[in-house]
């Protein structure tokens, strides 16, 4: 009895759902009507929102993870060529018109990530050194003046 080789099945690819669709569904979770992704996209492109979906958009801007909002900004940029900062600005404008107090934008995204990183270090899930963004070769060609009082200029610590 000869065993024939079984052809390998192609690995299942993870299909990324468009960020606007995910964000619209997230914003619609607590509401009877669904926010269409097209309406959300138009609101973020123009800074104006239909009255029927003010609550949905307010919920999204107030409660969605900043990383989700960043993916939405990136999708609008990729689809329409709209500058990232203009989309962030429209988000902030919508948030202000809804009287939201959440900080929205790149700085808020960085602050959120910094808090996650700090929690990871405090819990021992990663070393503090893993947070440095500068890698070997990044500063080639630059000159620096040593600071004898610097906390990072200590011999024998492997820096």
Per domain, the residue ranges of the chain are 19-108
Dig out the tokens for 11 from the structure.
């690995």
Reduce the DSSP state of residue 86 to 3 states and report it.
helix
pLDDT of residue 114: 84
Dihedral of alpha carbons 106, 109, 114, 120, sign? negative
| Rounded Cα gap, residues 115 and 119, in angstroms | 6
What is the distance of C-alpha 133 from the center of its chain? 17
Dig out the tokens for 134 from the structure.
């500068």
Which stretch of 8-17, 62-71, 85-94 has the lowest confidence by average pLDDT?
8-17
Check: CB of residue 68 under 8 Å from CB of residue 96. Answer: no
Check: CB of residue 34 under 8 Å from CB of residue 28. Answer: yes
| Rounded Cα gap, residues 45 and 35, in angstroms | 16
* Per-residue confidence band for 14, with pLDDT thresholds at 50, 70 and 90: very low
pLDDT of residue 91: 95
What are 96-141's pLDDT values in tens digits?
A: 999 998 888 878 878 888 888 889 989 999 888 777 766 566 677 7
pLDDT of residue 155: 58
Average pLDDT over residues 10-24: 73
This prediction has a pTM of 0.65
Give 32 or 156, the one with higher predicted confidence. 32
pLDDT of residue 6: 57
pLDDT at 153 over 60: no
pLDDT of residue 135: 59
Length of the chain: 159
pLDDT of residue 128: 81
């Amino acid at each position: 009895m000869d065993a024939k080789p079984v052809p390998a099945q192609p690995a299942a690819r993870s299909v990324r759902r468009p960020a606007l669709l995910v964000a619209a569904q997230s914003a619609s979770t607590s509401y009877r009507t669904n926010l269409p992704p097209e309406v959300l996209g138009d609101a973020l492109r123009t800074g104006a929102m239909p009255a029927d979906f003010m609550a949905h958009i307010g919920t999204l801007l107030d409660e969605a993870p900043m990383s989700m909002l960043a993916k939405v900004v990136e999708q609008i940029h990729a689809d329409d060529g709209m500058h990232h900062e203009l989309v962030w600005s429209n988000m902030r404008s919508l948030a202000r018109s809804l009287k939201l107090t959440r900080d929205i934008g790149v700085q808020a995204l960085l602050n959120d990530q910094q808090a996650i990183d700090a929690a990871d270090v405090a819990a021992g899930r990663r070393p503090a050194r893993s947070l440095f963004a500068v890698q070997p070769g990044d500063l080639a060609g630059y000159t620096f003046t040593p600071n004898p009082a610097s906390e990072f200029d200590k011999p024998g610590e492997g820096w």
